[in-house]
Amino acid sequence: MNVAQDNEIGAPLQTGDLLRTITRLFTELQTLSFACCDVQSATQCTILTTLSREGDQTLTALTRRLNLDKAWLSRTTDQMAEDGLLVKAPHPNDRRALLLHLTDAGTQAAHALDTQLNAQAQRVLDRLPARDRAQTVRLLEHLRAALDAELQTETCCTPAPSAPQ
């Protein structure tokens, strides 16, 4: 049994439980930051940060990237276009596809949100003992790489290999 720490009621948490708990708590923190974002929803904030980080994308590619319903994403990006945050233009190489591009206002909103989220992450790290911060960042870098690798190989409902004892 791989025990990470005790949970709120004193029972041991499995490593998977701990990672899911950390993810849930971090998502809750980000959602609170999204509420302060100058756009109307967490989905819009996610679209802003994704396009800012990854560049222009087709609606189909963004749908796959964010794992959202295409109709929902289309309505959300329509609203963002009306708000002047992005442009939905015909793709230069595929007239059936729409290319999403941040406007200057969208880029500024994404930058402001990114600054806010980075400050929030720094506040979280600052709550750790100073001697543990550098190691925590290194471990987070390793965890990111491991998660990226898992995403590259993950298939739906594939059982995980047994962990070494």
pLDDT tens figures, 98-157: 899 999 999 999 999 888 889 999 999 999 999 999 999 999 999 999 988 988 886 666
Structural domain containing residue 89: 40-132
- Considering the domain architecture, whether residues 31 and 64 belong to the same structural domain is answered as no
Does the residue 137 lie in any domain? Answer: no
pLDDT > 90: what percent of the chain?
Answer: 46
Does the residue 118 lie in any domain? Answer: yes
Q: Residues 41, 95, 52, 62: what is their CA dihedral angle, to the nearest 10 degrees?
A: 50
**Confidence (pTM):** 0.73
- Considering the domain architecture, whether residues 20 and 50 belong to the same structural domain is answered as no
- Considering the domain architecture, whether residues 120 and 58 belong to the same structural domain is answered as yes
Does the residue 160 lie in any domain? Answer: no
- Considering the domain architecture, whether residues 96 and 27 belong to the same structural domain is answered as no
Please tell me the distance from the alpha carbon of residue 133 to that of residue 165, in angstroms, as a whole number.
28
- Considering the domain architecture, whether residues 68 and 13 belong to the same structural domain is answered as no
* CATH number (domain holding residue 51): 1.10.10.10
- Considering the domain architecture, whether residues 48 and 29 belong to the same structural domain is answered as no
Under 8 Å between Cβ of 118 and 63? no
**Nearest CA-CA partner of 62 in 101, 117, 111:** 101
Counted domains in the chain: 2
- What's residue 145's pLDDT? 95
Does the residue 142 lie in any domain? Answer: no
- What's residue 77's pLDDT? 94
Does the residue 97 lie in any domain? Answer: yes
